[in-house]
Structure 1
């Protein structure tokens, strides 16, 4: 017995030793390749100033003279060229990659950095060029709120998710959100926000759809441009991502998106094109995936031919974190900045220059673009950030945008609520609202307002019995109510168990309260895609609860309202007729509960419209056969160790490669072409009032079609409406969608009986299609039909023009 015990102990000891050695080896690998420190670049000393001809300038290199790059009266190109001439080749190469995750995270031995920032543009102290910090931020700036040795916090505002902002169809409002987001970056010392996301909702299961705007490229582009312009009005850069065709999380680091060129140009690139032309973002982030056989960050066609030569993009392209496989190929293709930067990349660039594989011209082009960004930054002005943004004012903007982005899907007289009503809240999520998705799209906010808190603040009485059942349930499942953090939050989104109500309990609260509200929650995030069972579909428990709750309240002649606190599309067709009302509350950021209460109470009349189609069933989507449906999360350790981008011997469909066989027929384009019924169409949304459209006029110019229409509030409540202009192309031998969104506008708030005139400018160039044979944009002659509607399937007025 002793002998076997001895053998067992020796075996366990050996396994422990091997585990320690593996951990040590992994740590050394990470330190040498990713978490390395730029010790040769300490923090820049205080910079002196010079006065020249009455102008005061920062003497960046403290030489007592004004160099051309220090003179902000000179053109940006001149200043960047002057800097480039002063730099050694080694300094230029050093500029092409970040300083590793450590310095960005504030982990350097000198204690530098901004905790929570994820990357840097390295400094050049000899010339007085500062470190620039990059941080996540599609729904708000993401930095660490708590810092060692400090008794204050650095919270940021959690704004509504991008899909919800798109649901406002209000570019002015999204611009205001961007202004607030950019101001927080400015005041916290961040120089570039890594967002917004501009990928298309190709399929409902993409785990990061909540970070993206819509299934339509025009809506995506207009919302993205508004966000970029808002953020960059602060002198803060943006990084529009993920360029391009990053439409799934499954195997995103290796997946080859095989996209027909027409679909690539008309659907997946078009939103980015609109953003570039209307906002000129400081940076674009190349995606992890391959596009038609080439990694996006190593594709001269995408990064140079399309982005720069076709569109005139003037900023820099940065890689996604650890994206790409060949540093030299990335720089040569037009990917200027490698993030977060590794020692392996640094050596590869040096070696490439020395052996002639990396030309001096490629180094200079990339370095010049990065220098222009540095010169644009507020840090070059000597701006002293205060770490004190106006979070209260920004919370107000978050609340307004969340309320305006909520979509009323159904209302059989149940809403708005009456002030004297007592409300029974059912479902865990009623008391534990989801602010946003997980991963880099998450925000470290100070608080999240739940629906319960929002309704109480609005003056409603909350049924105490249902409230106590939630507390009892939470106490019985303590571990499941602990929210995961860091990488665990990406792979295991917070999902506490639902309450099992008995029929007797439901009948009890239906007798006590005046109205019931059942909240259904869903979450997803970076690193994994969604699945059908218990995610897109309601779980068996949820279906039972919904049916029994409707029976209990409606039998008592009281309404049952469903609130959807979700980040993406779920199945609704099978159950949507049962509740008296359905409010799609999305994920409204930290003020989501207040915003939902504003809409439910009627303080805000709902005006949101869907930025995507809700199908009857998942298989109705044209992309469904060409999308990974297993939802397997990414192995982040494999990514860090480089395993995720190694080619595999056996290529698996929808994982290693995905064929976009549906072409341009994405979203409503497909549903319209196939003549399929949908649960809720693209552009759909109800109001507490009604609107009538009239007096459609169309004027055709050489370059633009001017469309005007009158909109009248014919109901009894003040409200806003979103008017959409769709265009149908002439009959021809070329296949086109039955209609495509080409313009939209949101009315101001109209009092009952009030009328407004909306004007739409449709560029004739936007009516072209991509001719794959000629490889160019082509305009067909003939009759075009303009359709003005309240949704893609609620067309109110039509007119024809001949081109």
Structure 2
């Protein structure tokens, strides 16, 4: 059995496409083992033999508390096993940015961001985490598989907060949670609730507000909705992560009063009102200390003051002195991170495992600290659908969820000015001039972890057309092919730059004053869209 699994893993590492590994896995003895649940009967009661050793181990005895079962596992774990649990399983594709960094395991859900390792002898499965704030981000199609795995793109965070409607926000969370669970994911890496401090921040679209009360209440409603479906969340990025420039090295200088009143208050509300399964520490330093190294932040404030019960994970490569440093052997301070209470290092690379294992073997990292962090991760694992062997369908209710996202988008729209009652415009016999490349190449949301692979988007052009408005045909005929060409070129540009490529702004179509003046005469109203992605 172990030999077969190892062979498959080696094949997966060499395979060009992850779908090949999935196809091999589906036909393997490992897949059959997953689908069979041998049981052991003791004193007339049946128990799952999760590690298939033919006897009832303490951690399999559901008559005992979860606490006792987990303690029994930890007592049996080797230092190497502890390290493998404390560091994530990697993120396939990140090598484009970092260079070769060792083993990166593709989980059972292609496109997911990473996860925790499996331990067969304890019956502990690998768990899966995936982005993101606007909905689940996984690969929509898979090699050698005719099925599709599209997810719903929900409005960006700023739009959701603009609804001021906690019931609606909780429904958005329930819809997200439905897709997370039915696609086999355990934790959605969301919501993001940093303060919109700097208008140039490239991730402001993910965040809710410049106000910590709105941010905290909005996040709590989303978390409660998602977790009502039996899956987890990861509120992020904790804390004072308010710009993307030099994001792995920036040092935020903040007074304690400002931290308490502005940059921590939103997280405090979310923790106390929703108890997220996980919190993600941020990239930045705070007053000279990486947040993932800060015991004051992660233990004293988060756990001791606020009563947080879950795990803390790093952002992907959190604590590293820049992405470029990884190629040169740069590392986060794994011992400081463990001592701070940063339980899980993501996405995880072999070099971190080596240093952490040496620290644990030498006593530089105490068993007490390692065991505490391991225990919190196992407590998380025990709550997951994967541990419960939930049979996910790969068929979330996309039709119903589309209605939820449409309602949320409608409530999130804010009319800033309406001079001379220009809106609503209801005369569908008069011509509408539609300007702007993004009226045709519609932006559904941000990129990176905030992107969603949704099946279809209704552009402004399609929406107005479907609503029966009479559009200026000359403009449509000019803009449409131009927008399609620009969007295709930008897609290829980002593909060439790799997984962390920043989006470029689509060029605007040049037109002379005479054309614009002519449209002002022939059209009753003009709709102009200005946009760029982030």
**Cα gap change, 1:172/1:67 in structure 2, threshold over 3 Å: closer, same or farther?**
farther
* Aligned mates of 1:474, 1:104 — CA distance in 2: 30
Q: Secondary structure at the match of 2:142?
A: coil
Match of 1:340 among 347, 351, 365: 347
Matched, 1:309 2:304: yes
Determine the structure 2 residue equivalent to 1:359.
366
User: What root-mean-square deviation, in Å, do the aligned CA atoms of Structure 1 and Structure 2 show?
Assistant: 2.9
* Aligned mates of 2:382, 2:141 — CA distance in 1: 31
**Cα gap change, 1:57/1:465 in structure 2, threshold over 3 Å: closer, same or farther?**
farther
* Aligned mates of 2:277, 2:511 — CA distance in 1: 53
Determine the structure 1 residue equivalent to 2:24.
none
Bigger Rg, structure 1 or 2: 1
Q: 1:55 offset after TM fit, Å?
A: 7.0
Alignment of 1:28-39 (within 5 A): none
More strand by share: 1
Determine the structure 2 residue equivalent to 1:468.
477
**Cα gap change, 1:379/1:481 in structure 2, threshold over 3 Å: closer, same or farther?**
closer
Q: Secondary structure at the match of 2:298?
A: helix
Match of 1:60 among 50, 59, 81: 50
**Cα gap change, 1:455/1:474 in structure 2, threshold over 3 Å: closer, same or farther?**
closer
Q: 1:424 offset after TM fit, Å?
A: 1.7
Specify every segment of 5 or more residues in structure 2 that has no aligned partner in the other structure, as ranges: 1-12, 15-20, 22-29, 96-101, 320-331
Specify every segment of 5 or more residues in structure 1 that has no aligned partner in the other structure, as ranges: 1-29, 32-36, 525-803
Determine the structure 2 residue equivalent to 1:515.
525
Q: 1:479 offset after TM fit, Å?
A: 6.2
Paired residues of 2:107 and 2:115 also in contact (CA < 8 A): no
Q: 1:512 offset after TM fit, Å?
A: 3.3
**Cα gap change, 1:289/1:111 in structure 2, threshold over 3 Å: closer, same or farther?**
closer
Determine the structure 2 residue equivalent to 1:727.
none
Paired residues of 1:160 and 1:402 also in contact (CA < 8 A): yes
Q: 1:301 offset after TM fit, Å?
A: 0.5
Q: Tell me the number of residue pairs that the alignment of Structure 1 and Structure 2 aligns.
A: 488
Higher relative contact order (CA 8 A, sep 6+): 2
Determine the structure 2 residue equivalent to 1:184.
179
For 1:599-646, what per-residue CA distance to the aligned partner results, in whole angstroms no more than 9, with x for missing partners? Answer: xxxxxxxxxxxxxxxxxxxxxxxxxxxxxxxxxxxxxxxxxxxxxxxx
Matched, 1:430 2:439: yes
Alignment of 1:251-650 (within 5 A): 251-324=246-319, 325-412=332-419, 413-421=421-429, 422-471=431-480, 473-474=482-483, 480=489, 482=491, 484-485=493-494, 490-524=500-534
For 1:115-160, what per-residue CA distance to the aligned partner results, in whole angstroms no more than 9, with x for missing partners? Answer: 1112111111101111101111111111111212122221111111
Determine the structure 2 residue equivalent to 1:652.
none
Paired residues of 1:237 and 1:282 also in contact (CA < 8 A): yes
For 1:691-729, what per-residue CA distance to the aligned partner results, in whole angstroms no more than 9, with x for missing partners? Answer: xxxxxxxxxxxxxxxxxxxxxxxxxxxxxxxxxxxxxxx
Question: What's the TM-score once normalised by structure 1's chain length?
Answer: 0.57
**Cα gap change, 1:521/1:53 in structure 2, threshold over 3 Å: closer, same or farther?**
farther
Q: 1:521 offset after TM fit, Å?
A: 1.1
Paired residues of 2:494 and 2:503 also in contact (CA < 8 A): no
Matched, 1:87 2:77: yes
* Aligned mates of 1:72, 1:65 — CA distance in 2: 14
* Aligned mates of 1:475, 1:316 — CA distance in 2: 44
For 1:726-751, what per-residue CA distance to the aligned partner results, in whole angstroms no more than 9, with x for missing partners? Answer: xxxxxxxxxxxxxxxxxxxxxxxxxx
Paired residues of 1:284 and 1:316 also in contact (CA < 8 A): yes
**Cα gap change, 1:287/1:270 in structure 2, threshold over 3 Å: closer, same or farther?**
same
* Aligned mates of 1:490, 1:462 — CA distance in 2: 38
Q: 1:299 offset after TM fit, Å?
A: 0.7
* Aligned mates of 1:507, 1:456 — CA distance in 2: 23
* Aligned mates of 1:476, 1:145 — CA distance in 2: 23
* Aligned mates of 1:163, 1:237 — CA distance in 2: 22
Q: 1:472 offset after TM fit, Å?
A: 5.5
Matched, 1:142 2:137: yes
Paired residues of 2:314 and 2:346 also in contact (CA < 8 A): yes
**Cα gap change, 1:423/1:304 in structure 2, threshold over 3 Å: closer, same or farther?**
same
Determine the structure 1 residue equivalent to 2:88.
98
Paired residues of 1:103 and 1:120 also in contact (CA < 8 A): no
More helix by share: 2
Matched, 1:230 2:239: no
Paired residues of 1:211 and 1:441 also in contact (CA < 8 A): yes
Question: What's the TM-score once normalised by structure 2's chain length?
Answer: 0.85
